[in-house]
Structure 1
Amino acid sequence: MTGVWRPDPERVRSTRIVRFAQWLVDRGHARLDDVTDYRALHAWSVASPGDFWAAVAAFFAVDWTTPPQAALAERRMPGAVWFPGGTLNFGAHLLRAGADDQDAVVLVGEDGSRTAISYAELRARSFAVAGRLRELGVEPGDRVAAYLPNCVEGVVAFVATALVGAVWAQTGLDYAAPSAAERMAQLAPKILITGTGYRFGGKVHDRRVEAATLRDLLPGLQHTITIETAGVPAPGAGWGGTGDPLPEPVAVGFDHPLWVLFTSGTTGKPKGIVHGHGGVLLEQLVSPGLHMDLRAGDTFFWYTTPNWMMWNAQICGLLHGATIVLYDGRPTDALWRLVADLGVNVFGTSPGYLDASQRAGLEPGRDLNLSALRLVGVTGSVLPAGANAWFRDHVSDKVQLGSMSGGTDVVGIFAASAPTTPVYDGEISAPALGTALQVWDSTGAPAPAGTPGEMVITEPMPSMPLYFWDDPGGGKLHDTYFGMFPGVWRHGDLTEITARGTVVILGRSDATINRHGVRIGSAEIYAALGDLPEVADALVVGVEEADGGYWLPLFVVPSGKHEPADLIRRTIAERTSPRHVPDDVIFVPSLPHTRTGKRLEVPVKRILQGADPDRVIDRGAVDDAAALDALITAARVRRDPR
């Protein structure tokens, strides 16, 4: 029987999501018989999207410089028109909630070093840097590019950029300069803000040469600001300038560009996804504020890097008056100690980190004081059912382990837990508020409960992309999301909705295994191997071959010297079905991932079908390019020993 975690009824009553539901009822916005009934609240949110998002703006007291004329003027996809006429500033909202003497940002280095700034300091420094940007000629709509590690200066620079109405874009300092330029050069930024070094694996990595190379690769760049990071010195580093702070935030339209987030670049040139001030604000009021129950005075730590949209989401903890925690370094067991030492209330991580903790035999619940912890959020890949059981036994059976799925596309969530929802092992609790999530078959008909199909979103959301950068006419955006089902967002995840309304993500639909007419999610195979101590990592792809054949290889990193192919085949057959058993189990010393830890199923599949690796994957977007080469070589040798 599937394990289940249920919320404490007493605590539920004090959550923000219940207070929001009661607020809706008290003001006559919605009829809800039980304000703790998440399903009823969700049903109202998707039946009346304009009313829902207007209520979010009112409940969280969005500070409009100019009030909007309506909430949802044109209800269509793509091209929905949200809050026309409304003006505001996202950066101003980041600075308004926290108490002056409260820590706003805490940076923890891999070496244990800590740096913190208060909300008062963050406000002063952000307005000062915003004034410096204006002094350098930055106007609304200009681009500010950052090449930084996880650092306090990155938060200040982002807030300052938003305050002046400029457009923020960032890559981590660990990216090679050509890979960073492949993203940033598209934007022709006016300003580059760069660091000097970062910490990882017990070392400080000097990146001054790479930063100089990137500067030379950005056409039209007018100014470079160098900030000392990780203790790597740079003569003359600092913000510079003697001008006055920005007198007040620049009011911009709801759809004014806030930032450009880039796709991973593992399936071609990275696409720049543009989001607006208002859409991001509303989404980030709902996802941490209602789904994670993040509140003023909380401590919010999501392990992430500047290469991933979760960095942006982490910064949005400031919207709620929380203290946000940044970590610069490799994710070791130090993360659990950090959660305990800082009294973290909401901790975000990945399935990979939970798996590494389990394999390392860690006992966070026994060895550490985690009494402040309420929620551990998990995203980035599919959370296997076994992780829930390990978490209950070795971390806490009181803390909610909330799996969620969304993406860079909407800088938010499509499916998630909430403080009012139970958590079933291997399942995501529910579609997110304001997300009209359905599962359709290839003809566009809703799939029966428990039947895999395409995840679709049938109603617009304000945080959907405004456009792709350098996509005149919107053709790329249309083909990416609306090419299969006109007017309906198709996300590309093979998904099922269970009879109880929970969501199960089975993997990317464009990497779906379709063996002998039976569609198999790669997540099922990973889940079957999840608790095998002999398997350190795995990657499975289904390859349609030119001669009509079908090849199902499973690449495995063994945890020891033994290569347990028979054990792996037997385990998969017993825990899934004989159809899931791979044609070949290929052992490799390591596997490549994106820099955010995701498996490279789609590009590896295309390479094994004969595509030129350099055309389908940007090696700079891969955490271990040598592992990618070894994988390709091993596969080719296996198939053609000559």
Structure 2
Amino acid sequence: MDVLWSPPADRIENSPLRAYLNWLEKREGRPFPGHDALWAWSIEDLDRFWVSIVDYYEVAFSTPWTRVRTGDPMPHTRWFPGARLNWAEHALRAGDDDGTALVCVQEGGRPAREITFGALRRSVAAVAGWLRRAGVRPGDRVGAYLPNTEHAVIACLATAAVGAVWACCSPDFGADGAIGRLVQLEPAVLIAADGYHWNGKEIDRGDVLARLRAELPALRHVVHVPYVFDRPRPEGTTPWDDLLAQDEPSSFEQVESSHPLWVLFSSGTTGLPKGLVHGHGGITLEGLKWSGLYCGLRAGERMFTFTSTGWALWNMQLGALTQGAAITLYEGSPNHPPGAVWEVAARTGADLVLLGAAVITANTGVSPREEHDLSRLRHVMVSGSALPSAGYHWVMEHVGPDLRIDSTSGGTDISGSFVGASEYDPVRVGRIGGRLAGVDAAAWDEDGEPVVDAVGDLVITQPMPSMPVSLWNDPDAVRYTESYFDTWPGVWRHGDWVTMHADGSVSIHGRSDSTLNRQGVRLGSSDFYDVLETMDEITETLVIGVDLPDDGYWLGLFVVPAPGHELDDALKQKIVTTLRTRLTNRHVPDEIVEAPAVPHTLSGKRLEVPIKKLLSGRELSQAANIASVDDPDALRWYARFAAERGL
């Protein structure tokens, strides 16, 4: 396997990871010569590892913990039960008052605006005070419909400071997608912008805001953020500036470690998107570990994550603040003009860049190092999907020859990473460095046996603090268990095909379930169905995503026309327009195919996984049990289609 880059000894020796290992050696009275030794110890003595993170980063529990975790199996494990803290307090405690906390950049080369830690603390205190005066109490929900700007960061931190629960939808979601998520939470407050920027255009979201106000019946207050347009605010809303108008002392509600911090939404493969509830304690610990040991951030450094507020990377990047590092908030398209993300990285002095693999592959027509000064950049992290082999070579040739390329995998489910690279790992083309400390990850075959150098299901066999404390509206953990623990009780099955190589590196091969992953962003099939099946011309639809050779991807939409209609060019165009306007451009399929019917299980669920298996090359007998299908002839049609097309 090609080694593209190896870390110099002085880089390792001067890294924050090595500083932690030096401290750990004294504490434990044993050597930790590198990351492999750390990982092995961390899963052998999981509790002691996480206590070391608590102690090393001086986690401020206002009520001390008496035990590290409960003895309950996943998903019922609780970490540091009874201990109290506040995540926002940890996010805001490290930076000097005059140090930069946020660098705000808007598409189109406009000058960046910098916000200091002192100004951020004051703004968070002011908004938290307004929320308290508005009657928001611990456990209440604050919903947001905001682009990647300082408004979102301030509002998120303020919500956490009062012990309320944060949930944000990116404004590239249409009304249906946003309502389907936020309506589940019954938010008391909605903070919403009037629009956003994309590919040189100003996108108006006034109509979506009106629908959100109408269809979120528990709302008591709506805060209007006049971000794009200069026009009167909607009647009955509170202007954003009112939230900042009154000086308030900083005050952080101390909550139990598992108290809900935010709700991140899954893609919604079946039914409404799952609301993944993460706790203050777990996110504090995961954020400190990830930003300190793996991002290697120090006070005064800068991290630029290309993300929207609807992607878990947005939440993950906030961990940089715990190290006193700044985060760059870029609002706009990654490729307008071509190579825009690299221009922003250079202009804002990024030490670390985190972005989706699809962003890199979309920028391969430019050579950033020839056009921009990227001399501060030392680390490129890649998430969302595996970085193609050509992407590794492109980064080294066109971004910088002495970069640590760190392909990671984790996601919304844990607001963090399972696998990635440490400062000790060489960069191997097409490979992820290895498993992260505290993550007992493995590849299992169909019999639940671990396999090495062979493809298996990615499983996590011991709990992690940042696993969801619950799913929203799932009091008995029924849906939680079905989602992750149905295959092997007490073992988290993530839904990725993975190879754990003998040298410790990892390969991710794509989803083993029906989740769609388009350009590094997971899409929910139910979003397609909710939008399309209100059309008179359509009886039913089925959307399938298939990983192709050479890192390609095919998103196919099968359509069963209503009686008296046919899937002609006009209907195809209407489908495309509907998906683009009511959802996002990413939801537009690569191909729209007329089908005679959609087969279901006997309980009425569409056969997404079996049909994906057929399209991935499986034989019908291996993909589905015909006896459990409501329409075997329809399933046989998909088998013939797959065989003829040969995707």
TM-score, structure 2 length as denominator?
Answer: 0.80
> How far off is 1:540 after superposition?
7.1
Per-residue CA deviations over 1:255-296 (Å, capped at 9, x if unaligned) read: 000000001234432110000000001111111211111111
Pair 1:175 & 2:179 matched: no
Match of 2:287 in 1: 284
How far apart, CA to CA, are the structure 1 residues paired with 2:440 and 2:17?
A: 18
Q: Which amino acid aligns with 1:334?
A: A
> How far off is 1:608 after superposition?
9.9
Match of 1:32 in 2: 31
> How far off is 1:76 after superposition?
2.6
> How far off is 1:150 after superposition?
1.2
Question: Where does 1:459-538 land on structure 2 (aligned, <5 Å)?
Answer: 459-510=462-513, 525-527=549-551, 538=553
Match of 1:395 in 2: 399
- Out of 598, 601, 611, the position equivalent to 1:610 is 598
Question: Where does 1:174-573 land on structure 2 (aligned, <5 Å)?
Answer: 174-235=172-233, 237-240=239-242, 245=248, 248-332=251-335, 333-358=339-364, 360=365, 362-447=366-451, 449-510=452-513, 525-527=549-551, 538-539=553-554
How far apart, CA to CA, are the structure 1 residues paired with 2:123 and 2:22?
A: 38
> How far off is 1:174 after superposition?
2.1
How far apart, CA to CA, are the structure 2 residues paired with 1:433 and 1:605?
A: 45
* Contact 2:388/2:430 (8 A) holds in 1: yes
Match of 1:9 in 2: 9
> How far off is 1:66 after superposition?
1.2
How far apart, CA to CA, are the structure 2 residues paired with 1:595 and 1:501?
A: 38
Match of 2:89 in 1: 92
Unaligned residue ranges in structure 1 (runs of 5+): 513-520, 530-537, 544-587, 618-634
* Contact 2:121/2:250 (8 A) holds in 1: no
How far apart, CA to CA, are the structure 1 residues paired with 2:594 and 2:228?
A: 39
> How far off is 1:615 after superposition?
8.5
* Contact 2:104/2:150 (8 A) holds in 1: yes
TM-score, structure 1 length as denominator?
Answer: 0.81
* Contact 2:172/2:583 (8 A) holds in 1: no
CA 304–616 in structure 1, closer or farther in 2 if over 3 Å, else same: farther
CA 504–596 in structure 1, closer or farther in 2 if over 3 Å, else same: farther
> How far off is 1:636 after superposition?
12
* Contact 2:407/2:421 (8 A) holds in 1: yes
Per-residue CA deviations over 1:529-549 (Å, capped at 9, x if unaligned) read: 6xxxxxxxx417899xxxxxx
> How far off is 1:207 after superposition?
1.4
Q: Which amino acid aligns with 1:354?
A: I
* Contact 1:197/1:206 (8 A) holds in 2: yes
Unaligned residue ranges in structure 2 (runs of 5+): 516-544, 559-575, 608-637
Q: Which amino acid aligns with 1:16?
A: P
CA 198–638 in structure 1, closer or farther in 2 if over 3 Å, else same: same
> How far off is 1:111 after superposition?
2.2
How far apart, CA to CA, are the structure 1 residues paired with 2:420 and 2:224?
A: 39
CA 363–268 in structure 1, closer or farther in 2 if over 3 Å, else same: same
Q: Which amino acid aligns with 1:445?
A: E
Match of 1:579 in 2: none
How far apart, CA to CA, are the structure 1 residues paired with 2:80 and 2:548?
A: 42
SS at match of 1:255: coil
CA 169–323 in structure 1, closer or farther in 2 if over 3 Å, else same: same
Q: Which amino acid aligns with 2:420?
A: A
- Out of 73, 80, 94, the position equivalent to 2:77 is 80
CA 96–42 in structure 1, closer or farther in 2 if over 3 Å, else same: same
Match of 1:546 in 2: none
* Contact 1:7/1:420 (8 A) holds in 2: yes
> How far off is 1:366 after superposition?
2.5
* Contact 1:381/1:598 (8 A) holds in 2: no
Q: Which amino acid aligns with 1:14?
A: N
Which consecutive segments of 4 or more residues in structure 1 shift more than 4 A? 241-244, 521-524, 540-543, 591-601, 603-609, 614-617, 635-641
SS at match of 2:248: coil
* Contact 1:46/1:436 (8 A) holds in 2: yes
CA 41–524 in structure 1, closer or farther in 2 if over 3 Å, else same: farther
SS at match of 1:198: strand
Comparing 208-217 with 473-482, greater Cα deviation is found at 208-217
* Contact 1:268/1:616 (8 A) holds in 2: no
* Contact 1:177/1:213 (8 A) holds in 2: yes
SS at match of 1:82: coil
SS at match of 1:240: helix
May I ask how many residue pairs the two structures share in their alignment?
555
How far apart, CA to CA, are the structure 2 residues paired with 1:604 and 1:14?
A: 54
How far apart, CA to CA, are the structure 2 residues paired with 1:608 and 1:393?
A: 49
How far apart, CA to CA, are the structure 1 residues paired with 2:424 and 2:87?
A: 29
CA 505–247 in structure 1, closer or farther in 2 if over 3 Å, else same: closer
> How far off is 1:210 after superposition?
1.4
Per-residue CA deviations over 1:539-574 (Å, capped at 9, x if unaligned) read: 17899xxxxxxxxxxxxxxxxxxxxxxxxxxxxxxx
How far apart, CA to CA, are the structure 1 residues paired with 2:260 and 2:94?
A: 23
- Identity score, percent: 38
> How far off is 1:237 after superposition?
2.2
Q: Which amino acid aligns with 1:98?
A: G
How far apart, CA to CA, are the structure 2 residues paired with 1:161 and 1:364?
A: 38
SS at match of 1:105: strand
